[in-house]
Structure 1
Amino acid sequence: MTVTLSPAEWTPLADAHRVRVDALVADHLDRRKRREAHPVEDFLFTYYPTRPNQLRVWHPGPGVRLLDAGEYDGRRGYTYRDGAAALDPEEIARRRNSVAWIRLLLAATADRQPQFGCFGLHEWAMVYRTSDVRHEKWPLRLGAEGTDSVVESHKIACSHFDAFRFFTAPARGLNVLQPTRELQPALEQGGCLHANMDLYKWASKLMPFVPSALVLDCFELARDIRTLDMRASPYDLAALGYSPVPIETPAGKAEYAAAQRSFAARARPLRLRLVDLCDELLG
């Protein structure tokens, strides 16, 4: 069933979306003008490929026609016929294999029992026994030797390939799993911070097919998770206002696991909504 929206119906939705995006990206854009890097908040704009101007474009999702929507005429992923814009079925068909792979990964992750015992040690494994750290402007909270000691005294159990691939060479052999891209659907699980942050990646990769409100819900989840990810990292970010979650202590582990469970609960309905969207596109 297709819904047709008049300009009076869809224009306020598009305007409200742009207001929401502008509030989410304002600090990043201000820092970019000053050429000022931020080790926590820039992640969503540097690691993930979607740019703020791409986020500002409102997409209604499948089954919606927009009357008098000339701004969508010629936009990739849309057709414009008889004065109305709608998703292009040929573009959906062209990207069918990508949609199917995303659906496979998301559904497999949703079906797997979440795990809450990793304690964010992936960030520690990325600086293990190396002086080449990613955020070199920020000191290690426990120093290099203290950081290495934390890694060596814990079981490293990272299931996420895109975190594992940034481990230092000495740390890779310490991980109880050896994730690969091919194994991603078999290993990813809903307790993983990075798997839940990546809901934003998959939602943005599905643009323009996915409703923009869902993309931004995933963005906000990823932003909040990133904050915990770096608070639990070995970096000392107190000067930026981030209090540490000291995962090397029992209290820090408990705090981390509780936050991890909360994020898993937030992520699950978003993941299932994306699975349903993929089913609609593939159907």
Structure 2
Amino acid sequence: MEVLEPETWRARTEAHRQRVEVWTAPHLARRARGETHPIEDFLFTYYGYRPTRLRQWHPGTGVVLKGAHDFGRDYLDTPGGATLDTTALMDRRRPAVEWIARLLAATAARPAYFGCFGLHEWAMVYKTAEVRHGAWPLRLSGEEIAGVVEQRGVRCGHFDAFRFFTPEARPLNALQPTRQQQQELEQPGCLHANMDLYKWAYKLSPLVSSELVADCFMLARDIRAVDMRASPYDLSSLGYRAIRVETAEGRAEYAAEQRGFSERARPQRQRLLDACERLLAGTRSP
């Protein structure tokens, strides 16, 4: 067990709060005003992990917070301080941790694919007037969007993107992913698979540190910006330059961004996988 002195864990608590406040405070202010932002608010509205949860600091498993008592409902008070009740948490969460570990390992083992060019967002607005971000204009006409989708084709293996395709777009996808196939199809070049590292991090919390959750949030936030810049939406009024994947230059730019995110995601995916494997090795199945 690692023992953190009071000044150490209190400093980490404050540093984490200040770090995430940059993301949570503007979101809460917009929500109070009834405003939305298609990029900055997405990680809170789509993933559903509340800002208050993101602000809470946890050291992860195997750590004693010297001098701490009543640290939270998942913690035990010991003579040395508060520590996470890992055994009780794993009794409840073992199946989820095992599933996440399998997904992370399978994704990491596959070669990255950089040929989708972000057309999943185009498939979500294909031949429909009911778009998800209706407050923002499209930069191409419906006919032009349909032409790009039909000419380029769509190859999306991420179920949680595919499920938002319009009914007309689904048959055009080279793959027909299901939830049951998720561990078979996800690959490390996919923007959504790398964005989802944030989801797996917070689902493992408080068994993993809040710093790791915040690292994954920061990556997901950057990915979301590129995701929407490559979409058919016109977000120039928000200061976002479009990545015009309908052109050869835009597709090359998008693929370069994908490669960069794949490299950034690799160590975070490994950190999460290592955490899962330590948890599973350190606690016995009931």
**TM-score w.r.t. structure 1 length?**
0.97
Deviation track 1:73-121 (CA, whole Å, cap 9, x = no partner) reads: xx23322233621111111222100000000001100000000000000
- The one of 204, 207, 210 aligned to 2:208: 210
The equivalent residue for 1:81 is 78
Percent of residue pairs bearing the same amino acid type: 60
Of the candidates 130, 133, 138, which is equivalent to residue 132 of structure 1? 130
Q: Structure 2 regions of 5+ residues with no counterpart? A: 282-286
TM-score (norm 2): 0.96
What is the SS of the residue equivalent to 2:132?
coil
Q: Which residue of 2 aligns with 1:5?
A: 4
Q: Are 2:114 and 1:119 aligned?
A: no
The Cα shift of 1:26 comes to 2.2
TM-aligned CA deviation for residue 71 of structure 1: 4.5
The question of whether the paired residues in 2 share the 8 Å contact of 1:140 and 1:147 is answered with: no
User: Which whole-Å CA distance do the structure 2 matches of 1:70 and 1:87 have between them?
Assistant: 11
CA deviations over 1:139-180 (Å, ceiling 9, x no partner): 111111111111111121001000000000111101111101
Q: CA deviation at 1:271?
A: 0.1
> Of 153, 157, 160, which residue of structure 1 is paired with 2:158?
160
How far apart, in 2, do the equivalents of 1:108 and 1:188 lie?
8
Q: Is the Cα–Cα contact under 8 Å of residues 107 and 275 in structure 1 kept in the other structure?
A: yes
- Report 1:1-283 matches (<5 A): 2-72=1-71, 75-82=72-79, 84-88=81-85, 89-283=87-281
Residue identity opposite 1:247 in structure 2: V
**How far did 1:238 drift?**
0.8
Helix, strand or coil for the counterpart of 1:4?
A: strand
Query: 5+ unaligned residues in a row in structure 1: which ranges?
Result: none
Count the aligned residue pairs. Answer: 280
SS at structure 1 position matched to 2:205: coil
Quote the Cα distance in structure 2 between the aligned partners of 1:134 and 1:141: 15
RMSD: 1.0
Question: How far 1:57 sits from its partner (Å)?
Answer: 1.0
